Amino acid sequence: MPSCEIFSQTQPDRVILRPEKGLKMEFFANCVIKQYSDEPEHPSISREEQTRRMRGEIAAYNRFKELQCPFTPELLEASVKQRWFAISRIHGNNLLELLQTENKHVVIPSIFHQIDEMNHWLRRYGFGPLGNNIKDFILDSTGKLYLVDFEMYSSDSQKRNQIDLYDSIIHDILERILIRKGRKARLTRTFLRFSLSTFLKKPIMTMILVIRCLLHAFLDTKLSRKVRKIWNRRLK
């Protein structure tokens, strides 16, 4: 486990378990420790895939640290062998939490301005798509926006595409509105206002992703029906 003095606090003030990923997150005063010691319960996440994601996120944080990224936590310690790493803690709420309440402190123009700056920085250094959703944006008490969680990072994706964080945000929002399976959200006025403002920034991409989400939902339902039919036949 970590050896730095900042980890001297014996008990975390918050613990999040993600059994589908085999992930445990412990929140201490100044850091967050992510442990991948358990077997993933999700059928499509093997132990090898879990390791790949862990290595990818460590690699992402290492690169952000080398480039002195101004909007991501700092990697403090890591051990691939022991399957954990620690990052500095950002005190605040993720964007989804804020949008689920009628929060007057969510200033949409300021958030968009900061996302624009993130896009500019990521493009400048040749980052490819990172697969982030709205829960990966953390707003601290001063109104500064941070980006966390980079499980889908791959150095192979660098410079292949011009990254645009709005694309992944729009896709995430549409899944929560249209599919409402797995990823869900309460459709508060704040959430809907933010969603509409985001859609208007990229209307063509929004339409493309609407079609993609609806098609995915249709195929998923159709496939599920076929699987159930085959299973029922075997039971007979």
Do 116 and 62 sit in the same domain of this protein? no
Categorize the per-residue pLDDT at 78 as very low, low, confident or very high, splitting at 50, 70 and 90.
very high
99 and 33: one domain? no
- Reported in sequence order, the residue ranges of the chain that DSSP labels E, i.e. its strands, are 14-18, 23-27, 31-35, 75-79, 84-88, 92-94, 137-140, 145-147
Looking at the structure, tell me whether residues 70 and 124 fall in a common domain. Answer: no
What pLDDT digit, counting tens, does each position of 107-155 carry?
A: 899 999 999 999 999 999 999 889 899 999 999 989 999 999 999 898 7
pLDDT at 122: 95
- For the entire predicted model, the pTM comes to 0.85
Instruction: Please check the confidence at residue 88 and state whether its pLDDT lies above 60.
Output: yes
- The residue from 36, 66, 88 where one domain ends is 88
The domain in which residue 174 lies consists of 92-224
In 3D space, the residue among 167, 114, 156 whose CA is nearest the CA of residue 137 turns out to be 114
Distance CA 202, CA 195 (A): 11
Q: Does residue 11 surpass a pLDDT of 90? A: no
Q: How far is CA 71 from the centre of its chain?
A: 15
Determine, yes or no, domain membership for 230: no
pLDDT at 150: 95
Where are the extended beta strands (E) located within 80-174? 84-88, 92-94, 137-140, 145-147
Specify if 229 maps to a domain: no
Instruction: Inform me whether the pLDDT recorded for 236 exceeds 70.
Output: no
What are the strands of the beta sheet with 145-147, ordered from one edge?
A: 92-94, 137-140, 145-147
Count of domains in the chain? 2
Same domain, 42 and 116: no
CATH assignment of the domain containing 49: 3.30.200
**Residue 232 belongs to some domain of the structure:** no
The answer, yes or no, to whether residue 190 has pLDDT greater than 80, is yes
109 shares a domain with 50:
no
Q: Are residues 50 and 130 in the same domain?
A: no
Record the tokens describing residue 128, joined without a space: 């490819």
